């Protein structure tokens, strides 16, 4: 083809990226890549390797070690050996190491970009211009947190040895998202890259060694799912950070239940891309291209559900189809393509199967008439229209270049359609009316919302989801906390089970009998008899019967959850109003302080002075959370673009709380107050042995303007009620403080809807110590952070 013809047709010719240096690096390792353990490459214990394959051509790039439990043992031992010394380094020293890693990434940027494109199949333009610069940015940014750790995280300490498992869609970037904060804050890492895309992790390990990172601080063990399972189950790992599918995330949650491991899960998504009728249509069409055909749609936060307002739907889809005709699919090293290859044949087949299912269920298929390379794993950009909300393709994450489209009429309908998903990772809102966009953003059940933009990321801005998209955040200060633990909780001792007193015998005389007292449950703002109509005695330490409480069951929990779900107005109330009610609770409790102290002393056997001190501490704690209600605020991130990202603290929703036996009133207040201060609604299971403090407390709730359903109290057996709360799919989180058995039960059974779980792992908290039981230490667990990106300017 002549130059003149190019000018006449304005067509693209091939613009291949040179790959000589990358091929030379692969050649140097043609004997096989070992694991990177203790500062060097070692052969796999089992002697097994698997092939790294170029998805665009099917060519073998290299041989990668298959890890087993023995390899994981060695890596964890190396990380454990290095962790103490690494954590003891001054923050400035760790900052210097992360700075060196950032500089090393920049020096080898083109090599990283080419290897990533070859191994993953994504276009070189994306690896060169997006992935690798973001990798360097993460190490620079987290070098700053290392430098500031002593002042900004003075009350926290490193978690320890962290096992990290990353996916194949952004192999190098996901490494940076996880490794940078972990190392910055004094942890050591055992990283398991994806089986399909291990090469850039091995290159990074090699370069980190050359950059002077101490041996054992970073370890890389390659392999398939069995290698990841060995890492997850290893007793020497203190935390697991996983990015991948929701199905595997649930298995990890179940596997780690009761182990005491900290857990961060960044999982799947089915993100809505909402276009209002006043949007810049051409801008929104380009947004769709970035949202779903970036990285071949293999993005957890891909805008895969297009919701267009009816008035512009026909025009919008017409322009979108025209734009799709101009997309180019080609070999990843061609700098003039828009889409590369799907990562592997198995993923390509999944995409084909789901598209066929969508068509069979009534969707209309559009694929542009464009050329695909011969051979390799290629799939064209695809649009499915007239998709019903219950269709498989509208509900399931396809993880490919497939967009499904629906329409809406009103903003409320747009929100309902957007939230009609078990996922909650991200969303995009397109409107030229900024007031409308900012009204919609808080209503979307998603951890990240982009206004007139999509797929914006930065190390300074937290990323993570709601619901089955996982929990925890990566990036920003909120992401840094995921790799730390409170110093105040580090010295807690195991709870020793108290012996249950035997009821003392009593002989009735001829005096007037005491009036019978059987406390009811408290559900929806009213006292309610238990469904089973059973009760249980409450005994003093000497076995004297003090009264009886209802024996709550599954139906009582169901009723309480329904009442809490119906009290959604509490989450929408102003923080000022919530603060006033917390102050009022404190005021009314103060008026009955002597009565509550007497009750505590009778139930627990403590002295009257100590019981009175517990009541006073409870009053002070209510005051504290009244103060925090309108002061535990979000922040404004300033990423390197013309715009801001608003990090908003939002209530989690309905939270089940199971209280311990020690300090029955103070523990109840300490766990309930931060939740309601932040706008959550609570289903509370009080101390199993000492529940009368809670049944007395609901009289305080009744007289303190607490709206019906905000706090619900179900007494009974802690284990049975914990099980019901953890299994309930309309409960968004559970806090379980008590036995280690109950903690493990809550974590294991929470997988149904991947609810957030906070437990004490059977360790005793000092409820009188503010540093252990008051303020941000619990408030951070009482909210979920939503980051709303707002670019500005033309």
Q: State the catalytic residues.
A: 266, 300
Angle, vertex CA 473, rays to CA 470 and CA 478, nearest 5: 150
Instruction: Using the CB atoms, write b or e for 640-654: b if 16+ within 10 Å.
Output: eeebbbbbbbbbbbb
C-alpha–C-alpha distance, residues 19 and 21, integer Å = 6
Beta strands in 352-460 (DSSP E): 364-366, 382-385, 402-408, 426-430, 448-451
3-state secondary structure of 347: helix
Contact at 8 Å (CB) between 475 and 459?
yes
Contact at 8 Å (CB) between 134 and 106?
no
CA 511 to chain centre: 62
DSSP codes, 36-92: EETTEEE--TT--EEEEE-TTT--EEEEEE---HHHHHHHHHHHHHHHHHHHHS-HH
DSSP codes, 145-207: HHHHHHHHTTTEEE--EEEEE--SSSHHHHHHHHHHHHHHTT-EEEEE--SS--HHHHHHHHH
Angle, vertex CA 273, rays to CA 358 and CA 276, nearest 5: 115
Retrieve residue 473's tokens: 């955040």
Sign of the dihedral through C-alpha 63, 64, 67, 72 = positive
CA 245 to chain centre: 13
Contact at 8 Å (CB) between 262 and 485?
yes
Neighbours of 25 (CB within 10 A): 18
C-alpha–C-alpha distance, residues 10 and 428, integer Å = 33
Q: For residue 708, what is the DSSP state?
A: T
Retrieve residue 187's tokens: 């942890």
C-alpha–C-alpha distance, residues 47 and 128, integer Å = 35
DSSP codes, 568-635: THHHHS-HHHHHHHHHHHHHHHHHTHHHHHHHHHHHH---HHHHHHHHHHHHHHHHHHHHHTTTS--E
C-alpha–C-alpha distance, residues 568 and 26, integer Å = 57
C-alpha–C-alpha distance, residues 575 and 308, integer Å = 34
């Amino acid at each position: 083809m002549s130059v003149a013809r190019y000018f006449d047709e304005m067509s693209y010719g091939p613009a291949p990226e040179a790959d000589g240096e990358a091929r030379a690096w692969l050649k140097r390792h043609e004997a096989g890549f070992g694991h990177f353990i203790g500062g060097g490459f070692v052969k796999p214990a089992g002697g097994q390797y698997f092939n790294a394959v170029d998805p665009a051509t099917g060519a073998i790039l290299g041989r990668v070690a298959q890890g087993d439990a023995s390899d994981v043992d060695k890596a964890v031992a190396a990380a454990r050996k290095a962790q103490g010394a690494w954590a003891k380094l001054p923050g400035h020293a760790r900052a210097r190491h992360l700075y060196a890693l950032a500089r090393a990434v920049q020096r080898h940027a083109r090599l990283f970009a080419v290897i990533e494109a070859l191994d993953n199949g994504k276009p070189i333009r994306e690896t060169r211009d997006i992935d690798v610069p973001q990798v360097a940015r993460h190490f620079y940014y987290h070098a700053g947190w290392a430098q500031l750790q002593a002042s900004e995280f003075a009350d926290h300490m490193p978690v320890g040895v962290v096992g990290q498992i990353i996916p194949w869609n952004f192999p190098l970037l996901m490494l940076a998202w996880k490794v940078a904060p972990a190392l910055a804050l004094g942890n050591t890492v055992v990283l398991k890259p994806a089986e399909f895309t291990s090469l850039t992790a091995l290159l990074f390990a090699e370069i980190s060694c050359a950059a002077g990172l101490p041996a054992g601080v970073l370890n890389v063990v390659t392999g398939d799912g069995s290698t990841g399972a060995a890492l997850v189950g290893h007793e020497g790992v203190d935390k697991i950070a996983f990015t991948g599918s929701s199905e595997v995330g649930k298995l990890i949650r179940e596997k780690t239940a009761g182990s005491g491991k900290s857990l961060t899960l960044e999982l799947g998504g089915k993100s809505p891309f909402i276009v209002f009728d006043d949007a810049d249509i051409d801008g929104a069409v380009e947004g769709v291209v970035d949202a779903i055909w970036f990285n071949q749609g293999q993005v957890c936060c891909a805008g895969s559900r297009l919701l267009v307002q009816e008035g512009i739907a026909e025009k919008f889809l017409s322009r979108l189809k025209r734009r799709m005709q101009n997309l180019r699919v080609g070999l990843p090293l061609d700098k003039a393509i828009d889409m590369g290859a799907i990562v592997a044949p198995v993923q390509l087949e999944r995409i084909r199967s789901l598209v066929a299912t969508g068509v069979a269920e009534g969707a209309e298929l559009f694929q542009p008439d464009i050329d695909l390379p011969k051979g390799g794993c290629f799939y064209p950009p695809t649009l499915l229209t007239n998709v019903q909300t219950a269709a498989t393709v509208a509900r399931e994450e396809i993880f490919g270049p497939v967009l499904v489209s629906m329409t809406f009429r009103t903003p409320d309908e747009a929100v309902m359609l957007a939230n009609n998903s078990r996922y909650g990772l991200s969303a995009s809102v397109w409107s030229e009316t900024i007031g409308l966009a900012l009204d919609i953003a808080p209503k979307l059940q998603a951890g990240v919302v982009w206004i007139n933009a999509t797929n914006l990321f930065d190390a300074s801005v937290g990323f993570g989801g709601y619901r089955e998209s996982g929990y925890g955040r990566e990036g920003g200060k909120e992401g840094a906390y995921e790799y730390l633990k409170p110093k105040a909780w580090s010295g807690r001792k195991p709870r020793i089970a108290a012996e249950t007193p035997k009821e003392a015998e009593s002989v009735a005389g001829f005096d007037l009998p005491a009036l019978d007292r059987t406390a009811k449950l408290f559900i929806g703002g009213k006292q309610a008899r238990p469904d089973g109509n059973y009760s249980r005695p409450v005994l003093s330490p000497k076995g004297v019967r003090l009264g009886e409480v209802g024996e709550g069951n599954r139906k009582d929990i169901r009723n309480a959850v329904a009442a809490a779900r119906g009290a959604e107005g509490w989450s929408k109330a102003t923080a000022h109003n919530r603060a006033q009610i917390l102050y009022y609770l404190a005021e009314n409790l103060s008026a009955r302080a002597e009565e509550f102290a007497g009750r505590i002393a009778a139930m627990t056997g403590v002295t009257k002075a100590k019981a009175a001190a517990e009541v006073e501490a409870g009053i002070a704690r209510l005051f504290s959370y009244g103060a925090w209600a309108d002061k535990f605020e979000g922040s404004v991130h300033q990423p390197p673009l013309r715009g801001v990202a608003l990090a908003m603290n939002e209530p989690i929703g309905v939270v089940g709380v199971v209280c311990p036996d020690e300090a029955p009133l103070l523990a109840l207040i300490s766990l309930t107050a931060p939740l309601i201060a932040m706008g959550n609604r609570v289903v509370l299971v009080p101390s199993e042995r000492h529940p009368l403090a809670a049944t007395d407390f609901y009289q305080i709730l009744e007289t303190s303007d607490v709206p019906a359903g905000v706090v619900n109290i179900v007494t009974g057996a802690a284990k049975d009620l914990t099980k019901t709360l953890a299994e309930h799919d309309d409960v968004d989180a559970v806090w379980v403080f008590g036995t280690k058995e109950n903690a493990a039960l809550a974590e294991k059974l929470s997988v149904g809807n991947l609810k957030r779980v906070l437990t004490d792992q059977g360790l005793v908290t000092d409820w009188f110590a503010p540093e252990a039981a008051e303020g941000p230490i619990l408030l951070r667990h009482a909210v979920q952070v939503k980051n709303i990106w707002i670019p500005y300017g033309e």
